[in-house]
């Protein structure tokens, strides 16, 4: 689902709800950011987490929301993503790691650990020699995409960025599914951010896909609702915000229902429950416990012999009931 709304600076925020995981969402955010930058000649702020991607658009960006689906193509999305990661810090970090592994930039010398800032400087020198187009001055760089040289360290670094931090093949499969109609795209123009987008709008710095610091994020210029307001201000009643499907509730209760397989497991269950209503399906196991003196019946309910005194006093003594609950908590803590 693609959601767009205005922020307090009269710009717009484009939020993509994509439950495909952080690696695919980061790749999606970087590829869309690159397409926007090439189309509008303006660097955008973007962020991504496991469920959402956000692109912050200034007032100069205006386009129909239906055009989002055609911005990426399965035939070129890998090339677009490759160009997007070239200016990202992840490439610099993985380039230095590969230089260390290839022993081009040693981690230690004469048995002593070399300072990381010296390793970074030497890695940048190696990058300028092996990949001059990436390290070149922007005034002298030509128009168009940066040429990727056929160098073993360059190939390994690009592959690490595409497969470790990102999922390039997963992104291509997602874009292909959107083109074929297997994944349907829902477009929403809203006056305020939906509750599902609040997480990414207040995201931590590790979700950022650009170099803008936290205090300069355009997503901070958005007014988010803090809790529930009066009933008249909500689009729906407070009781309808999170209705639970009865069948789902039944499925969960069935999954957590205890199923003792023998008398020992039933005894452990009675120790934790103090008092248990009689269950006809467990009658044989309970009779076995009664025969061995490990369980008793109290007012038609079952209890372990060790809990018999507590089970008798629960109905009459509130302090005893509280002590039983505290005993259960202490047992669980241990």
Q: What is the residue-level pLDDT of the chain in tens, covering all 334 positions?
A: 899 988 888 888 999 999 999 999 999 999 999 998 888 778 889 999 999 999 998 887 778 888 888 889 999 999 999 999 998 889 999 999 999 999 999 999 888 898 989 999 999 999 989 988 887 776 676 677 888 889 999 999 999 999 998 999 999 999 999 999 899 999 998 888 888 888 898 888 899 998 888 888 888 888 776 554 444 455 555 555 566 778 888 898 888 888 889 999 988 888 887 788 888 888 899 899 899 999 888 888 888 888 888 788 777 766 666 655 554 433 333 3
pLDDT of residue 11: 85
Distance CA 334, CA 329 (A): 9
pLDDT of residue 37: 86
What is the largest distance, in Å, between two alpha-carbon atoms of the chain?
Answer: 92
Distance CA 334, CA 331 (A): 5
Distance CA 133, CA 208 (A): 26
Distance CA 187, CA 234 (A): 22
Count Cα neighbours of 139 within 13 Å in the Cβ-side half-sphere.
Answer: 0
Question: For residues 188-202, b (16+ Cβ closer than 10 Å) or e, as one string?
Answer: eeeeebeeebeebbe
Quick check: 127 and 95 in contact, CB under 8 A? yes
pLDDT of residue 31: 94
Tokens of 106: 């040693």
Q: Is the pTM of this model over 0.85?
A: no
pLDDT of residue 153: 93
CA distances from 32 to 17, 78, 158, 164 (A): 14, 12, 18, 19
pLDDT of residue 67: 85
Quick check: 33 and 72 in contact, CB under 8 A? no
pLDDT of residue 174: 94
pLDDT of residue 329: 39
Distance CA 88, CA 66 (A): 28
pLDDT of residue 230: 46
């Amino acid at each position: 689902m693609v959601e767009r709304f205005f922020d307090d600076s009269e710009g717009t925020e484009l939020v993509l709800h994509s439950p495909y995981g952080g690696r695919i969402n980061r790749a999606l955010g970087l590829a869309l950011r690159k397409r926007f930058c090439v189309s509008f000649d303006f660097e955008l702020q973007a962020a991504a987490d496991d469920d959402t991607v956000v692109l912050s658009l200034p007032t100069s960006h205006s386009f129909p929301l239906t055009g989002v689906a055609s911005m990426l193509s399965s035939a070129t999305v890998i090339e677009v993503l490759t160009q997007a990661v070239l200016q990202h810090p992840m490439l610099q970090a993985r380039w230095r790691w590969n230089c260390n592994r290839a022993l081009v930039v040693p981690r230690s010398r004469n048995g002593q650990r070399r300072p990381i800032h010296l390793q970074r400087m030497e890695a940048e020198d190696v990058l300028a020699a092996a990949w001059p187009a990436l390290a070149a001055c922007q005034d002298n760089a030509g128009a168009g995409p940066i040429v990727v040289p056929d160098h073993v360290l360059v190939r390994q670094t690009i592959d690490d960025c595409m497969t470790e931090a990102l999922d390039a093949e997963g992104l291509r499969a997602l874009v292909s599914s959107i083109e074929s109609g297997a994944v349907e795209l829902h477009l929403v123009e809203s006056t305020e951010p939906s509750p599902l987008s609040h997480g990414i709008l207040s995201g931590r710095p590790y979700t950022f896909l650009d170099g803008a610091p936290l205090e300069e994020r355009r997503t901070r210029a958005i007014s988010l609702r803090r809790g529930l307001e009066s009933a008249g201000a909500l689009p729906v009643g407070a009781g309808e915000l999170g209705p639970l499907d009865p069948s789902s509730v039944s499925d969960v209760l069935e999954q957590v229902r205890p199923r003792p397989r023998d008398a020992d497991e039933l005894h452990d269950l009675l120790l934790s429950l103090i008092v248990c209503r009689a269950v006809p399906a467990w009658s044989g196991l309970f009779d076995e416990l009664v025969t061995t003196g490990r369980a008793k019946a109290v007012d038609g309910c079952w209890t372990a012999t060790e809990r018999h005194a507590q089970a008798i006093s629960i109905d009459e003594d509130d302090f005893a009931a509280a002590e039983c609950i505290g005993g259960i908590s202490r047992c669980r803590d241990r």
